[in-house]
Amino acid sequence: MGRKNRNRQKPQQNRRPEGKRNRDDTGWGAGYSEIIKENKLFEHYYQELKIVPEGEFEEFMEAMREPLPATIRITGYKSHAKEILHTLKEKYFKELQDLEVDGQKIEAPQPLSWYPDDLAWHTNLSRKILRKSPLLEKFHQFLVSETESGNISRQEAVSMIPPLLLRIEPQHKILDMCAAPGSKTAQLIEMLHSDMDVPFPEGFVIANDVDNKRCYLLVHQAKRLNSPCIMVVNHDASNIPRLQFDNEGKKDVLFYDRILCDVPCSGDGTMRKNIDVWKKWTTSNSLQLHGLQIRIAIRGVEQLAVGGRMVYSTCSLNPIEDEAVIAALLEKSEGALELADATADLPGLKYMPGLTVWKVMTKEGQWYSDWSEVPTSRHAHIRPTMFPPTDPEKLANMRLERCLRILPHHQNTGGFFVAVLEKKAPMPWNRRYPKLHNKEANCLSEVTPAEELLKGESSAEVPSVDSSPTDAPVETVEGETPVEGNTFVPDTPDLQEAKKENVCGPPPPKKMKLCGFKEDPFVFLTEDDPIFPPIQAFYDISSDFPKLNVLTRTHEGKKRHLYMVSKELRNVLLNNSDRMKVINTGVKVWSRNTDGEQFGCAFRLAQEGIYTLCPYIRARIINISMEDVKVLLTQENPFLNKLGDDAHNQAKKLEMGSIVLRYHPDPKDPDAPQCPIDLCGWRGKTSIRAFVPRNERLHYLRMVGVEVFLDKQGKRNDGPTEAQKGNTEDADAEGLGQEGDLWERQEGTKMEQNGSGSTNNGTDPVGST
């Protein structure tokens, strides 16, 4: 196919249509200079609802029209977080303090006062300013590189709030119901791995999204963190399947300790970055989304364990999507749910308490204060659950003021709403129906709890047959038929007769509809799988290694990659293969070498899973110094004698093949990294190399004091010293050539030939990646 001429001039294409996006200098992303930031209906609506304190509305609107500051978050669970924070504070931020560009003094980034341990920062640096100063360009390259390697995340400040309010511990089972694009999911994973000395936390994160394509964006975000405790699934959140797990030979229902319910919303709190919202905003958006939000929230609390915590959040300021949904949940729960007071969890965060009084407005501007005022013609679009409870005592007991609404002008953020729900008892509809004795009793409503809420009807009285303090198991058992809403009806002879006569009864279970790409299977290694003994012998894997947690993605042919998941995720996968569509799970730990068997093992270590595997590997480890790290990461195939004496002697004792290069911090050297570093490597015939992806390579180089900077032509301006360069070429095979050479290629490079005309010297076996 011929290449299009991108430079060809086309008539009448110089002018951009009204309202189209246009790059401006308002931030790091795209701007919308043609869109006028005005919406009279929006102003009238929120003035009437009084969500903003008296006398602050003009300040509120001015903040909404200002560009949103860029916010970064340092990956908190990694042992390298302190090193990155130290680099930011002591190097980049200090240099920015006294910097001036075009006579304008640069405002240094500031920490978010409410985020723990100074791990989140915001800055007003624009793309235009970043391009004008080499120093700022270095800072920008640092941010980009560290983001791609998973050590820093660009995330809106208010988006960081919900995971913090979940109070996650390593043993928690977590569900993220509407997870894409994945910034909050990444936070959940970080908190799960708060103790880096534990390679397999007891808990896990199941991240779900209804959009198949966005699930792959979610996979990309999660993979940066290299966790064996994350699973990405593709389901409608309002009907996400209830899962099972094996509990000592008995099938139990999986209830989650923590659930993040960040629902789809109208997004008027994002006007500072999504400028399209200014011209598209109307009250009908929230009226249309209200029902979906309730259904998702109800499905969430159904799957929440008693004693668990669910955070409901939106990037909308509208009480129809916020307090109205929470009030409906609390009313329907009949005391099973309680709004938690989360004010102490984030000291320093400025917020407004939740509303207890609000009204509903149509897109034409018609206001209704109560359901009784709504004409019948409007009942299809306005529901009873959109209004606050009319009973003052019931309203007071809900404690809606415990909800948090973040306004943009209070702390220079986007708008946001968040509420923390705690489950004190089983939901009233999560019970088993008693035995039915007549055909009339079989005429059960097929209406789910969410639908009953939206109709404003009270649910039918269901006699309880289970007074246990936790939700009754609802998996299908012999002699029972499933019904919508996670309830069950005994399959009695009367019910069977009713089915024959086409009498009203429970609907048949629906077959799961799968959309999008067909995923490869997840196949776990068996106890006697012949693929594992050579690996175990080559790396001297300890006996407590959970080899049954190793999986592949194929039933047939040679296995290209081996992945690992935690024990609990393995349990979930094995018991729910027909209940859920899994997009991705596990972390890659080994990759096949085509010619690897001649070196003693067909699989080499993968850098992605090195920190998961290292606690179990007892052989093929070379302890290296900080200077060795510099040599290995700045030279493509250094000879063994380039290493320090200690590392050199260790390497000479090893046969060719995959190795671990391990750096232990030296507490006597404060200038050296004070965290351990593990690198995948390959011991060649006379040389050695590190198998580390480009961005991780740059990350480790910075940690050991080697600044890496690429100019606009992609060539290195200031790099290692001549002694550090050695006889090397840049590692194009590792992706270093994508943004230009890591350093300029050296003349007179000496590469050992392996006899076949190639230059891998046995260090980069054919077929490895």
Tokens of 345: 């969890």
Do 201 and 292 fall within a single domain? yes
pLDDT exceeds 50 at position 706: yes
- The answer to whether position 27 is within a domain reads no
Instruction: For residue 457, give its domain range.
Output: 440-500
| Whether residue 313 is found in the same domain as residue 174 | yes
d(CA 681, CA 702): 19
Residue 268 and residue 181 in one domain: yes
Three-state SS for 430-451 is CCECCCCCCCHHHCCCCCCHHH
Residues 132 and 201 in one domain: no
Of the candidates 359, 393, 423, which is a domain's last residue? 423
Which residues are paired to 612 by β-bridges? none
Are residues 215 and 316 located together in one domain of the fold? Answer: yes
Domain boundary among 423, 458, 489: 423
Which pLDDT belongs to residue 743? 25
582-598 confidence digits (pLDDT tens): 999 999 999 998 766 77
221 located within any domain:
yes
pLDDT value at 651 more than 80 = yes
Token pair recorded at residue 336: 């099973």
> What is the radius of gyration, based on Cα positions, of the chain?
29
Residues 6 or more apart whose CB falls under 8 angstroms from that of 521 comprise 553, 554, 555
pLDDT band at residue 483 using 50, 70 and 90 as cut-offs: very low
Least confident piece of the model among 198-202, 301-305, 541-545: 198-202
- 17 burial via Cβ count (<10 Å: 0-12, 13-18, 19+): exposed
Token pair belonging to 496: 């069977």
Q: Is the pLDDT of residue 658 over 50?
A: yes
Is residue 92 within 8 Å of residue 142, measured between CB atoms? Answer: yes
**pLDDT value at position 764?**
34
* Band of residue 99 on the pLDDT scale cut at 50, 70, 90: confident
In terms of Cα–Cα distance, which of 564, 569, 566, 563 is closest to 582? 569
| pLDDT per position as a tens digit, 24-81 | 433 444 444 577 899 999 999 999 999 999 999 999 999 999 989 889 999 876 677 8
In a domain, 49, yes or no: no
DSSP structural state of residue 117: G
What pLDDT score does 13 carry? 42
Q: What is the pTM (predicted TM-score) of this model?
A: 0.81
Residue in 640, 645, 643 with CA at minimum distance from that of residue 656: 640
For residues 340 and 462, membership in a common domain is answered with no
The confidence band for 82, taking pLDDT boundaries of 50, 70 and 90, is: confident
Q: What angle, 0 to 180 degrees and rounded to 10, lies between the N-to-C axes of helices 694-703 and 626-634?
A: 150
Of 229, 315, 601, 680, catalytic: 315
768 to each of 322, 591, 692, how far by Cα in Å?
51, 7, 13
Q: Is 315 a catalytic residue?
A: yes
Q: Which of the two residues, 769 and 373, has the higher pLDDT score?
A: 373
Beta bridge partners of 660: 621, 680
pLDDT of residue 671: 80
The answer to whether residues 183 and 76 belong to one domain is: no
The answer to whether position 239 is within a domain reads yes
Name which residue leads in pLDDT, 595 or 682.
682
CA–chain centroid gap for 100, Å, is 37
pLDDT attached to residue 93: 84
Contact status, residue 429 vs residue 174, Cβ threshold 8 Å: no
Mean pLDDT of 723-739: 32
Q: Provide the 3-class DSSP secondary structure of residue 398.
A: helix
Examine the pLDDT at 279 and tell me if it is beyond 50. Answer: yes
Q: Which residue has the tokens 């606050």?
A: 388
Per the structure, the count of domains in the chain is 4
Q: Does the pLDDT of residue 477 top 60, yes or no?
A: no
Mean pLDDT is lowest, of 92-101, 116-125, 334-343, 349-358, for 92-101
In a domain, 46, yes or no: no
Residue 196's pLDDT is what?
74
> Can you tell me which residue has the tokens 């000479």?
652
pLDDT in tens, 243-273: 999 988 899 999 999 999 999 999 999 999 9
pLDDT of amino acid 496: 44
* Residue partners of 557: CB distance under 8 A and separation at least 6: none
496-516 average pLDDT score: 44
Q: Residue 233: inside a domain, yes or no? A: yes
Q: Quick one: what percent of the chain has pLDDT higher than 70?
A: 75
The predicted pLDDT at position 138 comes to 81
Angle between helices 183-192 and 212-223 (to 10 degrees): 40
Residue 46 has what DSSP assignment? H
The last residue of a domain, from among 131, 154, 177? 154
Nearest CA to 420 out of 156, 162, 184 is that of: 162
292 and 380, same domain (yes or no): yes
> What was the pLDDT predicted at 368?
96
Q: How many CB atoms lie within 10 A of CB 69?
A: 22
Can you give the CATH number for the domain in which 410 is found? 3.40.50.150
Are both 448 and 419 inside the same structural domain? no
Beta-carbon contacts of 118 under 8 Å, excluding residues fewer than 6 positions away, are: 85, 111
User: What are the φ and ψ backbone dihedral angles of 140, each rounded to 5 degrees?
Assistant: -65, -45
- Are 359 and 447 members of one domain? no
DSSP 555: S
Q: What integer pLDDT is reported at residue 411 of this predicted model?
A: 94
Q: State which H helix or E strand residue 259 sits in.
A: strand 256-262
Determine, yes or no, domain membership for 541.
no
Note the pLDDT of residue 300: 97
* Cβ 360 vs Cβ 383: under 8 Å: no
Give the pLDDT mean for 194-217.
Answer: 89
Whether the per-residue pLDDT at 12 is higher than 70: the answer is no
Residue 226 has pLDDT above 80, yes or no: yes
DSSP state of 685: S
- 380 & 467 share domain: no
Residue 312: helix, strand or coil by DSSP? strand
261 and 148 together in one domain: no
Mean pLDDT over the full length of the chain: 79
pLDDT bin (cut points 50, 70, 90) of residue 107 is confident
Given a contact cutoff of 8 angstroms between Cβ atoms, the answer to whether 274 and 267 are in contact is yes
pLDDT over threshold 90, residue 425: yes
More confident of the two residues 509 and 481: 509
Q: Is residue 726 part of a domain?
A: yes
